[in-house]
Chain A
Amino acid sequence: MSGARGRDAEELADGHTTASREEARRSRRLSLRLLGSLLHPVRRTAWATVALVVLAQAAQVAGPALVAFGLDHGLPALKDGDAGPITVTTLCYALIAVLGGTLTASVVRVSARVSQAVLLDLRRRVFRHTQLLSLEFHERYTSGRVISRQTSDLDAFRELLDGGVTTLATSVLTMVFTAVSLTLLDWRSGMVLLVAVLPGILLTRHFQVRSQEQYRRSRTASARLIVRFVETMTGIRAVHGFRREAQESHRYAVLAEDYRATSNAAIRLHGRFDTGLTLIGNLTVAVVLLVGGLRVLDGDLTVGALAGAVLYARRFFTPLGQIGMFYNSFQAAVAALEKLSALLAEEPSVPAPLEPVRLPSPRGDVRFEGVEFGYGTGPSVLPRLDLDLPAGRTVALVGETGAGKSTVAKLLARFYDVRGGRVLLDGVDLRDLDPEDLRRAVVMVTQEAYLFSGSVAANIALGRPGATRDEIEAAARAVGVDGFVRSLPAGYDTLVDKRGVRLSAGQRQLVSFARAFLADPALLVLDEATSSLDVPGERLVQEGLHTLLAGRGAVVIAHRLSTVMGADRVLVIEGGRVVEDGSPATLVAAGGRFADLHAEWRASLR
Chain B
Amino acid sequence: MPFDPGGATSTRPVPRRVGSLVSRLRPWLRPVLPRLVLGGVGSLGASLLALAVPQVLRAVVNGPLADQGEVGAVVAAALLVALLGALEAFLVWSRRALIASPGTTAEREMRTDLFDHLLDLPGTFHDRWSGGQLLSRSMSDLSMLRRWMVFGLVMLVVSASTVLVGVALMLATSWQLGLVYLCGAVPVVWLGFRFRQDYTVVARRARDQAGDLATTVEESVHGIRVLKAFGRGEDALEEFAQQAEDLRGTEITKARTLSRVTFALGTLPEVVLATCLGLGVVLAARGTLSVGDLVAFFATAAVVNAPVERLGHLLAMTMDARAAADRYFEVMDTRSELADPSAPLPVPPAPTGGSRVELDGVHLRFAGQAPGSRDVLDGVDLVIEPGETLALVGLTGSGKSTLLGLVPRLGDVTAGSVRIDGVDVRDLPRAAVRAMVSIAFEDPVLFSAPVSENVLLGVRGLDEAAAEERAREALEIASADFVAELPEGMRTVIGEEGLSLSGGQRQRVALARAIAARPRVLVLDDPLSALDVATEAVVTARLRSALRGTTTLVVAHRPSTVALADRVAVLEDGRITGIGRHTDLLANHAHYRYVLTAQPGQAQGAQDRAR
Contacts and interface: CB of A to CB of B under 8 A. Distances in A.
A281 B53 CA distance: 13
Interface residues of A, number: 164
A536 B600 CA distance: 10
A202 interface: no
A105 B265 CA distance: 10
Contacts of B258: 108
Contact of B223 (A102, A127, A450, A539): A450
Contact of B71 (A67, A146, A236, A294): A294
A241 B439 contact: yes
A536 B606 contact: yes
A104 B262 contact: yes
A450 B119 contact: no
Interface string B210-239: 000111011111111111111111011100
A146 B221 contact: yes
Contacts of A94: 270-271, 274-275
A268 interface: yes
Given A240-B123, A242-B457, A450-B226, A282 B84 contact: yes
Contact of B229 (A9, A63, A67, A444): A444
A63 B273 contact: yes
A227 B448 contact: yes
B288 interface: no
A67 B74 CA distance: 22
Interface stretch (A34-42, A272-280, A389-397, A546-554): A272-280
Interface in A300-334: 303-304, 306-307, 310-311, 314-315, 325
B594 interface: yes
B412 interface: no
Nearest to A64: B298
B38 interface: no
A182 interface: no
A286 B78 contact: yes
B115 A450 contact: no
A135 B221 CA distance: 10
A538 B533 CA distance: 17
B278 interface: yes
Specify the main secondary structure of chain B where it touches its partner.
helix
A91 B227 CA distance: 65
B105 interface: yes
A112 B96 contact: no
Contacts of A17: none
Contact of B532 (A60, A401, A413, A484): A401
B295 A303 contact: yes
Interface stretch (A253-261, A359-367, A422-430): A253-261
A605 B230 contact: no
A108 B595 CA distance: 65
A237 interface: yes
Nearest to A119: B248
A272 B93 contact: yes
Contacts of A20: none
A586 interface: no
A137 to B, nearest CB: 10
B24 to A, nearest CB: 21
Interface string A9-38: 100110000000000000000000000000
A282 B82 contact: yes
Contacts of A240: 122-123, 408, 410, 430, 434
Contact of B228 (A123, A135, A462): A135
Interface stretch (B59-67, B353-361, B473-481, B546-554): B59-67
Of the candidates A123, A127, A562, the one having the most CB atoms from chain B within 10 angstroms of its own CB is A127
B446 to A, nearest CB: 8
B165 to A, nearest CB: 18
B502 to A, nearest CB: 10
B611 A483 contact: yes
Contact of B457 (A238, A463, A504): A238
Contact of B458 (A86, A242, A484): A242
Interface residues of B, number: 156
Given A147-B218, A604-B560, A227 B598 contact: no
A297 B438 contact: no
Contacts of A259: 108
Contacts of B225: 135, 415, 444, 446, 448, 450
Interface stretch (A69-77, A172-180, A570-578): A69-77
A506 B611 CA distance: 9
Given A123-B244, A240-B410, A289-B77, A4 B259 contact: no
B486 interface: no
A285 B85 contact: yes
B82 to A, nearest CB: 4
Nearest to B277: A70
B227 to A, nearest CB: 7
Contacts of B1: 270
B458 A243 contact: yes
B445 A108 contact: no
B71 A297 contact: yes
Interface string B235-269: 11100110011001001101110111011101110
A325 B4 CA distance: 13
B396 A534 contact: yes
Contacts of A435: 231
B118 A233 contact: yes
Contacts of B408: 240-241
A263 interface: yes
A433 to B, nearest CB: 12
A605 B582 CA distance: 11
A157 interface: no
B397 interface: yes
B572 interface: no
25 contacts: A63-B273, A90-B274, A93-B270, A94-B271, A94-B274, A94-B275, A97-B266, A98-B267, A101-B266, A105-B260, A116-B248, A127-B237, A229-B138, A235-B446, A241-B408, A245-B120, A278-B92, A290-B75, A293-B60, A293-B65, A307-B57, A504-B397, A537-B610, A604-B558, A604-B559
Given A66-B277, A289-B60, A535-B596, 5 more contacts: A86-B277, A278-B85, A307-B299, A535-B557, A606-B583
